Each structure stands twice: as structure tokens, then as C-alpha cells.
Structure 1
């Protein structure tokens, strides 16, 4: 089995990465950052998102494992002091995994260029200044004319990220759905939007057509696309999925509870 290590540049993460490399070599596993079977990320959720996009073209053959060296990691199951236990799990790996849905993003620019992107968490579209106006279609049927700061389109696991801060629902990772939430929409007696997040099934898609193609800012996880005139953006569940090595992968709702609530049972 070939193991790749993807780390941020922080001192704590660098120390963990160096220890991890030494221990992996000591047990006879092969280190390969180019064509790995397992990618171990060292840092936090931002590091894992970067690793996901780095290995995006290898999703059919790569499983991820996350070590977090900070205070909170939603996608990361291991702590920095558990390197020995993780290496032992690598030695006894039998291919076990759990997978999560991804977001497929299709972008058409006014110059005729088409681009396809994948997101693990979410994609947003906003206007740089002023109010964004956009026609929103569901399965090619006009749904509404949106007015506001922007729209956030998220995956189930991404529903706990920016989507949650916009008032969107937290969705089970076992559902292959897309959520669209509004960012500061304008609703009064003249202008109306639905005013609620919407959930899109796997056989549906959402298309957003900005009324003004210029001055729009689009994001795909951490990637920012600006200064490009967007004709339309379409969103749906991707055919690809991200896989995590399920050595002791934390159950989704336990992860949500521990990350946001920290509740303990009453005695």
C-alpha cells in the first residue's frame, strides 16, 4: 500500500508529518505522494479540503485520513498524539472505507468557455458590490428571481460549514442531495424569494443565471473565481464521491454534536 502525506506548513503539523513519515517507513509501507492509495492530511479541515482538490483526479483510487493538530476538525478523526495507533491501522488496512457525496459545478462564461468543478463543502455566487440579481431554475424550470447578497449551494457534509451560518439545515451525510440557501435575500411587498433553504434530489439540478454577468464572485470550497463574466452556473450531485479510510471513522451525527454542541448525558 502506498501512503501520501499532505500537511500544512505549521510547526505542529510539520513535526507530526516528519514523525509519521519515519514510522511509516519503519513498518515497511511505501511513501508515495504522487500516486497514493491512502492520503493522510495533517492540519485541519482546510488542509483536507486542499488535499481533496490536489488529488481530485484520483478520487476513484484514493482514500483519505485526517489528523488534526488544532482545536477542531470536522473531517479529521485522529489527533496529533495518535500517530502510532494510526500507523498500526495502516498496517492492518483491509480496504475499509466510507464515502460522501460531492457537488458537481458546471460554469458557462460569456466568452464561450465552459468549466467543470467539484466541491467537497460548497460553492457560492455573490456580486462584488451591490445586490445580486439572478434567475434560478430547477430542472430547467424558472423557480424564482433572486435578489440579495448571493446563494450558497452545499453538499450534505458541507451543510455544517458556510451553509449553516446562512440558516441552512444540517443534512445527513447518507443523503445524496444538494442544498441551496440564500445569503441575505431581499424580501418585501415588491420583491419576493422563497426565503427558505431548498433541498434538491439526485435527479434534479439547479441553474443560476446572473442578470448581470460581470462583477460576480464565485467560490468552490477555498477556490475563488473573480473577474470573469459568468453566463450561468449549474449544480447537481456529482458522480464521483470522496472516500475516507474507515479505521474508526466518526459517525456523522456524533461529529455534528461534538463539533457544535458538546452535549454530555445527564447523570
Structure 2
């Protein structure tokens, strides 16, 4: 098997990476270009970087956390020896995590991006007016700071801080959540998150897109001459390797309730 490392730029992560590389040299081949397994050492941000770097490579991912708790990681930094033992001797399961497909449409062209966590559309200087369509049906005219569309994996990230629901991973669903919506007698939108299945398309049409920033996981883009944004889920997914049993509910409890 071929593997690659994605390492956060800190001393502990680098030291951990060196230990793993030395321990695996007699078992696997190190190949940064076309790995079968990508080992992320750092935090959830490091996982996102790894996923985007190897987006077009047929590989699996596993995470080792070297800081505070990471939701994507199966191993803490003090469990490196156990990880090495598991990866060289144990059978594993894979978990599919579905990605958003984001199509940014301009007058004469379009660009396609993918997100493991979420798309964030934000404008902090003035309220945005966004026409939200589900398929070809107008849902609402949203007024506020912005909108977030998240995957089940991303439902525990920014979406949760906005009051959105946590969704079990492995299901091709996406969630639309408001960011500081304006609600009074003149303007009103849904006021809650909306969960949609893989057959649906969210289309966002705005008057102020040229003054907006869009976040796609850890990537930030400034919108220029954009007519609309279309979001779907279920066509592309990432595979995470699981060497040890840790239920989703245990992950939620570990991350948000107690250790």
C-alpha cells in the first residue's frame, strides 16, 4: 500500500509524522502523488487541506490529532503506537462522507467546487438580499448577513454554532442555515434550518454577490460577476478509514458534552 502524510506546521505534528514515517518504512511505500491512504496529522483543518489536495485521487483518509479534540480524528497524539499497530495489522471499515458540489455561475462561464464541511456566504458590511430557490421553486427572499449550506460532516462545525441540527454522517443530505437573518413585520424568512436530500438543488440568487465572500471549507473566495450559485450533494464523497470502533454518538458526546 502507498501512503502520504499531511502534517500541520507545528513541532508536535512534525515529530509525530517523523515517528510514523520511520515506523511504516518496512510496511508501506511513501508516495505523495498517488497514495492509497492519506494520514492527516494535526486538526480538522489539516483533514480539510488533505481532502482538497487529494480530491481527484482514489484514496482513503485517517486522522491523528495533535492538539485539542478533532471531530474527524480517530486517534489522539498519545495513541500513535496503537495507530501504527492498527494500520499495519488490522482490518478496517470505510465510512463515506458526502461532499457538496458547488457551481458558481457567471454570465458566460461557471466554476465547480467541492466542500466536505460547508459553503459559507457572508457579507459583514451590509445586509444581503438572497433569493433562495429549491429546484425551480422560490422558498424565500432572505435578508441578513448570509447563509450556510453544510454536509452531514459539516453539521457539527459552523452550522452547529448557527443553531443548525447535527446530522448522522454517511447520509447524502444537505442543510441550509441562516446567518443572522432579519425578522420583523416587513421582512421574514424561514427562521430555521432546512434539511434536503440528494434529489434537491439549492439555488442562491443575490443582488450583492459582487461584495460578498464565499467560504468553501478552508478556502475563501471573493465573488465577482456571479449570477447565481447552485448547490447539490451526493455525487462525490470522501472515504475515511476506521480501524477502531467509535460510534457517531460517542464522537458527539466526546466533542460537545464531556471527555
Write the deviation string for residues 145-198 of structure 1: whole angstroms up to 9, x where unpaired. 110000000001100100011111111114211000000001101111011100
Normalised to the residue count of structure 1, the TM-score between the two structures is 0.93
5+ residue gaps, structure 1, are none
Secondary structure of 1:84's counterpart equals: helix
1:21 matches 2:17: no
Query: Which residue number corresponds to residue 73 of structure 1?
Result: 70
Work out the CA distance in 1 between the residues paired with 2:223 and 2:133.
Answer: 24
- Cα distance in structure 2, aligned partners of 1:227 and 1:201: 27
Q: 1:3 corresponds to which residue?
A: 3
1:12 aligned to 2:12? yes
CA contact under 8 A between 1:6 and 1:47: conserved in structure 2?
yes
Secondary structure in structure 2 of the residue aligned to 1:90: helix
Determine which of 76, 94, 97 is the counterpart of 1:97.
94
Cα distance in 2, alignment partners of residues 249 and 226 from structure 1: 41
TM-score, normalized by length of structure 2? 0.96
Q: Is the 8 A contact 1:152 1:181 kept in 2?
A: yes
| RMSD, aligned α-carbons | 1.4
Counterpart residue number, 1:152: 148
Query: Within 1, Cα distance between the matches of 2:219 and 2:47?
Result: 14
Structure 1 residue 250: Cα displacement:
2.5
Cα displacement string for residues 58-115 of structure 1 (whole angstroms, at most 9, x for unaligned residues): 1xx21101000011110011111222221222222546311111111111134x2311
Whether the aligned pair in 1 keeps the contact of 2:74 and 2:242 (CA below 8 Å) is no
* Equivalent residues, number: 259
Give the gaps of 5 or more residues in structure 2.
Answer: none
Q: Is the 8 A contact 2:131 2:140 kept in 1?
A: yes
Counterparts of 2:86 and 2:12 in 1: how far apart (Å)? 22
